Amino acid sequence: MKYSLSKISAAIVMTVAVLFSSVQAATTPADSSLVEIDNLVVSGEASAPPVPGKTKIDAETVTLTDPGSLADLGGLLPSVRVATNSRGDSHLMIRGAPERHSQAFLDGIPLNLPWDERVDLETIPITGIGRLEGRRGMPSLLDGPGVLAGSVRILPPQLNGLDRRTQVSYAAGQAGLQRVGLTHQQETGAWNLLGAGGWNKRDSWPLPQGGDQRTNSDLEQFSVLMRGSRAIKNTGRLNLLATGWTGEKGVPAEMHLGDDARFWRYPVRKRALFGAAMAIPRGDWDFTSLVAADFFAQEIDPRGPNNWDAPLNEGDDYEKDFDRTGHFQLGSTRWIGSSSRLSMQANVRYTQHREILTVGGSTESFAQWMTGLVVEGEHRWAEVWNLRAGTGWDHSATPESGDKVKADSFNAPAVNLRLGREISSQGEVYFSASERSRFPSLRELYSGALGRFVANPDLKPERQDMLECGVTAQGKGWNLTGAAFLQYLTNGIEKEKLPGPDRQFMRVNRTSIRVPGLELAGTWRIHSDVEISGQHTIMSARVKENESYDLPAENRPDYLSHWSVNWSGLQGPAAIIEAAISGPSWSADATDDVDGLAHLPAGVRWNFRLSWRWEMGGQDAMMAKEIEAHLRVNNLFDQWTDFQLGLPEPGRVISGGVSIKM
């Protein structure tokens, strides 16, 4: 970037000092960083990013998507692509950034697995999910280290004035597709309690264009969730969370590799999360804290379909992974009058990963410390201007590196500056600039990925510089947001094909990756029962080579679009039709000896949902019931689109189900 880090850091430190000393009488801005902890949200944030760049998906929209996992919901958010890779993992990519630059949170607890700094969204159940919130860009440093492109937050359901609520749902479809869900929420004394359980199963996905069932694409998963929340001295709140899931999953092989394709599966995948958070306002101070423990285990069987049922023998390739992670977050905010605040936050994460790669083999242990310290100030003046500035320091160390050479410890500064101006009571324009780094994950540094990758402990941190300007506006029955952004990624970590017959890859630091883009999103309620929503993002992700940005970056489409028309009422019939469009992209091709890339064309998938809703019980709230039956067709026209080379998205899938709310 043309601006220097030292100048930005000095300016931000001076700005924070000015914000801390300023005291002016003004109303609190609509997008200010007030600590707002929902009735059950386990969140230790000291403050929240502003409204621009944030999209909320309400409980009704989540329900109408008929999701089996978080992977089915990501496409509802602007500039977001959810793609499945060769390991069978579905990842979140925001604004063309790598998937490790985005984070998923459950009630404030990070869901990305520290070993790989990403998470398979298909293993995140929708059990107990009420709402979603997506954030794009980096309007604040308080999301924590490594969150460079944005995040998705899973929030609990709300009772909306009821004492209790129960929901039961069942869905079934082609190829053994079945989903069962049960959620109960109620007020009990001082506590708001929620319990949920779910089962999700399929035998396979169909290939598009009338093809056979996709080999090794089965899934079965069970999940449970318990939440509790209560007020502390009327002004604070304590939140508790316990959740877990276990299952088995197949990994479809890359079709273009033929007999050289990798056939493997996850016979075991299980995870348990425990979290506690408190928010305590005291006069001009707000204090927040979060403590969480994360336990994960999986097994990988790479022996192929003819050997999956065979007994395991000494020396067979059969990987077992065990992860345990602790999260700690502490924050405070000092309010200065009604127009200024100063927030401070510390994040600490420790993770240990143990793996056994062969039957009877040795256990290798890897560990990482990740810490981040942030100071952020905000000030509003003249009723219309709002300035936010922050600076911080991130650190990473790997005290255990298994049988590999240990990498160096990393330190990196973080800076952020955002200026906004209201253009009316319903709109704002803003400009922001930021810089933050992402440290290599343990897997990127040390893992051989069952022989497909060569470890590289010499990897350096990625550094992202971002500029963004945008506008948001709304009126009666409509809203519109638009943003232009420019991301520069220095030392971007990409996989590189190595010479030789083994078709291996190594993760290396590329010189630079540039992603300019433009995004638009909005909704328009043209009738009380009809709403049109749409989003379109144009991007051009290119890798710097020979002093120019000419080489395409992997799996970054040139554009993304999502459009839908939703017709619904309180009772009776309803329908949704939607189109999800992904532009052309380039994908890694191990069979290509020139540059290891293959061009993929653009694709569009149409989805259709028809439903009928009945309300029963009349005015008696204790007897009231809402029953909905639905029919859904995903990929209505059975179009062929690829996640990446050799990995097609599912063909046409027909399903139906019923949901009862009491």
pLDDT of 186 = 94
User: What digits encode the pLDDT tens for the residues 142-151?
Assistant: 888 989 999 9
Can you tell me the mean pLDDT for 236-262?
Answer: 92
List, in order, residues 6 or more apart from 545 with CB less than 8 Å away. Answer: 511, 551
- Give the range with max mean pLDDT: 6-15, 91-100, 254-263, 292-301: 292-301
Examine the pLDDT at 11 and tell me if it is beyond 50.
Answer: no
Decide if 284 contacts 251 (C-beta within 8 A): no
Encode 287-325: b = buried (16+ Cβ within 10 Å), e = exposed: bbbbbbebebbbbbbbbeeeeeeeeeeeebbbbbbebbb
Name the DSSP class of 540: -
Can you tell me the mean pLDDT for 164-175?
Answer: 94
Examine the pLDDT at 611 and tell me if it is beyond 70.
Answer: yes
Decide if 538 contacts 517 (C-beta within 8 A): yes
Query: Rg of the Cα trace of the chain?
Result: 25
Q: At 49, is the pLDDT very low, low, confident or very high (cuts 50, 70, 90)?
A: very low
Distances (CA, A) of 308 to 267, 312, 317: 9, 9, 11
Domains and CATH numbers, the chain: 5-571+584-609+624-661 (2.40.170.20)
Coil, helix or strand at residue 451:
coil
pLDDT of 422 = 92
User: What digits encode the pLDDT tens for the residues 16-40?
Assistant: 443 333 333 333 333 333 334 455 4
Q: Which two tokens stand for residue 286?
A: 């707000």
Nearest to 328 by CA among 371, 390, 374: 371
Can you tell me the mean pLDDT for 125-133?
Answer: 87
DSSP 376-442: EEEEEETTTEEEEEEEEEEEEEEEEETTSPPPPPEEEEEEEEEEEEEEETTEEEEEEEEEEEEPPPH
Q: At 7, is the pLDDT very low, low, confident or very high (cuts 50, 70, 90)?
A: very low
Can you tell me the mean pLDDT for 294-308?
Answer: 93
pLDDT of 101 = 93
User: What digits encode the pLDDT tens for the residues 314-366?
Assistant: 999 999 999 999 999 999 999 998 899 999 999 999 999 999 999 999 999 99
Can you tell me the mean pLDDT for 647-654?
Answer: 95
